């Protein structure tokens, strides 16, 4: 058993994004990411604000809540002093995300006289750093020690801060047993387990591993190992071949962070392609930077679940260098960057990640997500969009575009499977092939050449015979409508009253016209 | 008085005779499951009704297709939808004014669609080149002439990636002729009267000319569609008498 798991210390800075923004914990504060609460202060939590809530929901629970945007860069930069403090205890600090770090106990624990002493020391040190930022932050540290990262994380979160919680060696499975399966970071699997009547990690752990493999594939085995208090992947599954380490030298030394980031992106692409050709993926990556004066900084980044992309690695490089430059005089580099190395420290076979029973997608969504981030680095944000069902009467309202990076592509796919009921009064199918985002003026004339008008009861005064679109003039063969779209009639400022008509010209071109305030507009074409 | 709910009733009540029948579905599935020859493996699916346009049972991969004419957009969507199949992704680049509902009716998977807008002109070609690496079908609507160098680069990239590019401008802005050009023409619309009914069915004529896939010959096909996909037209119009009667006329 002991061979299968690494004993870990985990340090959690509770509500780190709030602290990184420098907000007082006594006030209700929520950090918003993508219109959802990413973190909130204890005061906000008391009022019922929870992570993952929508903005409106959070504001309803706590009207006084102060909303601030999530700034991952800031979070990461402010965390640098904590890392520096921990590095005095051990060199192997693994960063999971800003506010959550872990390291193996082996070594430091013996040096400091046991897990308990080590945990206390860590809590004290980190507490001092946080107190240095603001006095009240000092008590927001949680430390957990257990076999395996997963159990250590839960151990850290077991008691309200400031706390240390030690799970004795070999007791991780027992500690995890009463916890709900929702701690597993794999929503489809968790949903399935709950439906199968396995609400706790203990119940899930009791399933024989062979059955788990047969029924749930690789993802299932990973989750099952976690529930058993083991590491997600058996440790040292594969010793990374040294040639996987990719590095580049700058000549002359790089003076700016963007330059390093740019080079790191191509370096990362090289690393990823060489790992892919070996059928590997990386769960822990070291980024090492060396300056001309020989100063080096290594940071270990842990990846779980998130698709490892070149852009993500390049961003990590930038954050790491930014953080290094922001350090105090004694620790900051004094010359240009000479070398950057990417060290895949823990590699696992790739591809197994894709064998799942509940998800038939073959990793294409990951590929598309990578493509989206790549396109955005090429042409900037706000260029890649995906359609989403919105519902509405007009042809331009039924589907709206949302930025591709703001939504989860998998969930998105689901939303289309539920075909929504058509809205009452919508123009019937077939839908027009061209819908004009900004409709052009049109003239609809009757036999005498007078503008066709719709009266207050939604009837035509005169029959249309000629349609004029800019320079072009069409004879109308047949037509139908008008169909009224009278909305927000209860609200004087938003009230809109429109009528739509389908017309077919002698040239068998069909158009959808819209009339508002006695003016006709070309809204769509059945092209 | 302003209740327009009756529209929905008519929309749902009229059955669509152009939807795929059971026999057609079976035939299509059988063809899809057949072990293919090498040439067949190299083709992307086209809508069944379009099959007579192409010598192979489909359109060769890595081709550039232009669609034009009245109804050209619908033909473009149908091609994109069929080529994407059940798992492929589609991208629309600078295709302003696209009717997504129509695209959905014609089989374009909206859940696997990327829409790119406001791309700088200088980056247009690189964006298309990046897209075809991942996406199966790229729909473009160039607004200004594409220069010879970009066009050549794109053509090579699309061929290498075995993707499909559909240009809804009919290839007007390309420096040389596209591989296949489809010209659509709506022969007849039915369902719309004078003050009653609504647009329901139309019959198309599609003429394909091709530099490469069709070895210069012209092929023609007659197809029709209601609110679903294209189906082959059986010569004479089926809908001549199908104009909805006065029971559906305006009620208010």
Enter the tokens of residue B54.
């192409």
Q: Count of domains in chain A?
A: 3
Residues A58 and A183 in one domain: yes
The domain spanning residue A272 has which CATH number?
A: 3.30.1490.100
User: Count of CB contacts below 8 A, A vs B?
Assistant: 189
Domain membership flag for residue A91: yes
Residues A176 and A271 in one domain: no
Please check whether residue A154 touches B, CB under 8 A: no
Q: For residues A345 and A284, what is the distance between their CA atoms, to the nearest angstrom?
A: 6
Residues A217 and A257 in one domain: no
Beta bridge partners of A249: A339
Residues A249 and A285 in one domain: yes
Q: Which is it for strands B218-225 and B231-232: parallel, antiparallel or unpaired?
A: antiparallel
Q: For residues A439 and A356, what is the distance between their CA atoms, to the nearest angstrom?
A: 47
* Candidates A379, A508, A526; nearest CB to B127: A379
* Candidates B5, B74, B193; nearest CB to A433: B74
Of A308-322, A498-512, B231-245, the poorest mean pLDDT is in B231-245
* Contact list, A456 vs chain B (CB under 8 Å): none
Domain membership flag for residue A237: no
Q: For residues B36 and A98, what is the distance between their CA atoms, to the nearest angstrom?
A: 53
> Which of left, alpha, beta for A206 (phi over 0: left; psi -120 to 50: alpha)?
alpha
The domain spanning residue A76 has which CATH number?
A: 3.30.70.270
A409 pLDDT above the threshold of 70: no
Enter the tokens of residue A318.
């930038």
* Candidates A432, A457, A485; nearest CB to B252: A457
Contacts 24+ apart (CB under 8 A), A368-372: A368/A409, A368/B89, A368/B114, A368/B134, A368/B135, A369/A307, A369/A309, A369/A409, A370/A307, A370/A309, A370/A311, A370/B134, A371/B114, A371/B130, A371/B131, A371/B133, A371/B134, A371/B135, A372/A404, A372/A405, A372/B114
Residues A222 and A87 in one domain: yes
Domain membership flag for residue A257: yes
Of A276-280, A346-350, A360-364, B157-161, the poorest mean pLDDT is in A360-364
| Alpha carbon of B106: minimum distance to chain A alpha carbons (Å) | 10
Q: For residues A398 and B99, what is the distance between their CA atoms, to the nearest angstrom?
A: 10
| Domain B6-248: CATH superfamily, name plus number | P-loop containing nucleotide triphosphate hydrolases (3.40.50.300)
Examine the fold and report which residue of A227, A250, A271 is the final residue of a domain before the chain moves on.
A227
Q: Write down the pTM of the prediction.
A: 0.54
Please check whether residue B214 touches A, CB under 8 A: no
Please check whether residue B102 touches A, CB under 8 A: yes
Tens of pLDDT, residues A154-192: 898 888 878 888 888 888 888 888 888 888 888 888 888
Tens of pLDDT, residues A455-473: 877 788 888 888 888 888 8
- Cβ–Cβ of A484/B123 closer than 8 Å? no
Residues A255 and A217 in one domain: no
| Alpha carbon of A445: minimum distance to chain B alpha carbons (Å) | 15
Which of A361, A366, A374, A387 to mutate to test binding with chain B, by most B CBs within 10 Å of its CB? A387
B131 pLDDT above the threshold of 60: yes
Residues A198 and A318 in one domain: no
Query: What is the span of the domain harbouring residue A165?
Result: 2-227
Assess contact for B28 and B107: CB atoms under 8 A: no
Please check whether residue B57 touches A, CB under 8 A: no
Assess contact for B68 and B209: CB atoms under 8 A: no
* Contact list, B100 vs chain A (CB under 8 Å): 387, 398-399, 435
Which chain A residues in 430-489 lie under 8 Å from chain B, judged by CB atoms? 430-437, 457-460, 463, 478-480, 483-486
HSE-up of residue A392 (Cα within 13 Å, Cβ side): 12
| Alpha carbon of B192: minimum distance to chain A alpha carbons (Å) | 6
HSE-up of residue B238 (Cα within 13 Å, Cβ side): 17
A55 pLDDT above the threshold of 50: yes
Residues A248 and A217 in one domain: no
Position A411 scores a pLDDT of: 57
Please check whether residue B73 touches A, CB under 8 A: yes
Residues A172 and A209 in one domain: yes
Q: What is the dihedral of CA A234, A235, A237, A238, to 10 degrees?
A: 160
The helix-helix angle for B148-161 and B124-131 (nearest 10°) equals 10
Tens of pLDDT, residues B204-213: 888 888 766 5
Find all residues with CB under 8 Å of A23, minimum gap 6, and list them: A29, A41, A66, A68
Please check whether residue B124 touches A, CB under 8 A: no
Which chain B residues in 145-184 lie under 8 Å from chain A, judged by CB atoms? none
């Amino acid at each position: 058993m002991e061979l299968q798991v690494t004993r870990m210390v985990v340090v959690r800075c509770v509500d780190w994004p709030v602290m990184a923004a420098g907000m007082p914990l006594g006030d209700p504060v929520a950090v918003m990411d993508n219109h959802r609460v990413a973190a909130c202060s204890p005061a906000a939590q008391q009022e019922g604000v929870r992570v993952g809530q929508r903005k409106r929901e959070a504001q309803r629970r706590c009207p006084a809540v102060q909303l601030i945007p999530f700034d991952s860069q800031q979070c990461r930069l402010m965390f640098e002093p904590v890392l520096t403090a921990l590095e005095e205890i051990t060199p192997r600090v693994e960063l999971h995300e800003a506010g959550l770090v872990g390291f193996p106990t082996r070594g430091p624990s013996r040096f400091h006289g046991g897990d308990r002493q080590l945990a206390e020391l860590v809590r004290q040190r980190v507490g001092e750093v946080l107190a240095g930022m603001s006095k009240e932050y000092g008590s927001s540290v949680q430390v957990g020690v257990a076999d395996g990262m997963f159990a250590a994380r839960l151990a850290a979160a077991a008691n309200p801060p400031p706390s240390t919680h030690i799970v004795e060696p070999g007791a991780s499975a027992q500690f995890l047993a009463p916890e709900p399966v929702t701690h597993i970071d794999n929503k489809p699997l968790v949903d399935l387990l709950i439906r199968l009547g396995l609400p706790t990690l203990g119940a899930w752990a009791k399933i024989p591993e062979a059955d788990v493999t047969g029924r749930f594939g690789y993802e299932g085995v990973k989750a099952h190992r976690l529930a058993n208090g083991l590491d997600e992947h058996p440790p040292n599954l594969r010793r990374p071949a040294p040639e996987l380490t990719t590095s580049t030298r700058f000549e002359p030394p790089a003076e700016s962070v963007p330059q390093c980031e740019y080079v790191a992106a191509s370096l990362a692409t090289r690393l990823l392609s060489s790992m892919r050709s070996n059928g590997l993926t990386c769960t822990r990556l070291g980024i090492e930077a060396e300056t001309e004066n020989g100063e080096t900084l290594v940071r270990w980044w842990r990846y779980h679940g998130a698709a490892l992309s070149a852009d993500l690695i390049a961003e990590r490089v930038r954050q790491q260098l930014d953080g290094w430059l922001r350090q105090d005089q004694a620790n900051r580099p004094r010359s240009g960057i000479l070398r950057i190395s990417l060290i895949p420290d823990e590699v696992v076979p790739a591809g197994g990640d894709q064998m799942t029973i509940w998800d038939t997608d073959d990793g294409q969504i990951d590929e598309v997500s990578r493509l989206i981030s790549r396109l955005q680095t090429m042409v900037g944000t706000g260029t890649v969009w995906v359609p989403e069902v919105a519902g509405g009467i007009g042809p331009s309202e039924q589907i709206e575009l949302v930025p591709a990076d703001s939504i989860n592509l998998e969930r998105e796919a689901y939303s289309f499977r539920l075909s929504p009921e058509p809205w009452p009064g919508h123009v019937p199918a077939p839908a027009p092939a061209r819908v004009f985002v900004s409709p052009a003026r049109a003239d609809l004339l009757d036999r005498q050449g007078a503008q066709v008008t719709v009266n207050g009861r939604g009837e035509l005064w005169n029959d249309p015979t000629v349609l004029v679109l800019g320079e072009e003039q069409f004879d109308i063969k047949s037509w139908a409508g008008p169909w009224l779209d009278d909305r927000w009639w209860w609200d004087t400022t938003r009230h809109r009253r429109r009528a739509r008509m389908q017309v077919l010209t002698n040239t068998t071109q069909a158009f959808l016209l819209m009339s508002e305030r006695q003016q006709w507009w070309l809204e769509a074409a059945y092209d | 008085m302003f209740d327009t709910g009756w529209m929905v009733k008519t929309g749902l009540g009229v059955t669509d005779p152009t939807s795929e029948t059971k026999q057609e579905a079976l035939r299509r599935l059988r063809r899809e499951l057949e072990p293919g020859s090498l040439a067949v493996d190299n083709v992307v699916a086209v809508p069944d009704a379009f099959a007579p346009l192409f010598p192979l049972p489909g359109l060769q991969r890595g081709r550039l297709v232009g669609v034009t004419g009245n109804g050209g957009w619908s033909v473009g969507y149908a091609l994109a939808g069929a080529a994407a199949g059940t798992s492929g992704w589609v991208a629309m680049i600078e295709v302003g004014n696209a009717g997504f509902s129509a695209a959905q009716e014609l089989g374009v998977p909206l859940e696997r669609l990327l829409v790119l807008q406001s791309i700088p002109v200088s980056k247009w070609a690189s964006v298309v080149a990046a897209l075809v690496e991942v996406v199966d079908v790229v729909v473009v609507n160039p607004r200004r002439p594409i220069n010879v160098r970009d066009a050549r680069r794109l053509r090579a990239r699309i061929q290498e990636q075995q993707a499909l590019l559909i240009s809804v401008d009919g290839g007007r802005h390309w420096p040389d002729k596209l591989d296949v050009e489809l010209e659509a023409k709506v022969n007849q619309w039915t369902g719309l009267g004078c003050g009653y009914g609504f647009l329901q069915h139309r019959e198309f004529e599609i003429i394909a000319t091709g530099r490469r896939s069709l070895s210069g010959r012209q092929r023609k096909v007659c197809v029709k569609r209601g609110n679903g996909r294209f189906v082959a037209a059986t010569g004479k119009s089926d809908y001549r008498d199908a104009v909805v009667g006065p029971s559906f006329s305006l009620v208010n």
